Amino acid sequence: MSSLRTHFEGSAVELADHAALEVSEQEGATMLTLRPRTPTAVAVVLHLLDDKVGTVALDDPACVPAELGNDPVADLESIDYFVSVAVQGRATAFHLGRGGCVEIQDGEDTSRSWRNAWPWPGWRRRAERIEYEPYS
């Protein structure tokens, strides 16, 4: 079992009162989902291929995943980052057709990632907005 999977499962154990771990496997790939008990919170998804490489992201189609497998320390930090964002409810998604944007609050700073969308004028007004709640 990989250290990525073990680390993610450890986060699930710590959050057992607030979230459940779902595991599915198919054709050499494993998907682990940390599913919150709060329906308005966002899940975190870890995709692993042969337990060596993969991605981690919020379970939102507009979220750009972080790639894992090149740097063990950075990989664990990426997993911790996405789990922290989800647990603390610091993400807001904007859906625009098949794409969108995810904003993540970090104190005074906001990071924004785009997927299959461009930030045209008025995009916030036209987008479906989802403010994810903290795990409780």
Does 79 share its domain with 23? yes
Does 32 share its domain with 69? yes
Amino acid (1-letter code) at residue 76: L
Name the residue range of residue 80's domain: 3-88
Predicted local distance difference test score (pLDDT) of residue 119: 80
pTM of the model: 0.93
Q: Tell me the pLDDT tens digit for each residue of 93-117.
A: 999 888 899 999 998 899 999 998 8
d(CA 83, CA 78): 9
Q: Is residue 136 part of a domain?
A: no
Does 61 share its domain with 97? no
Q: Which helix (H) or strand (E) holds 101?
A: strand 99-106
Below-50 pLDDT ranges, the chain: none
d(CA 19, CA 36): 4
Predicted local distance difference test score (pLDDT) of residue 1: 52
How many domains, in total, are found in the chain?
Answer: 2
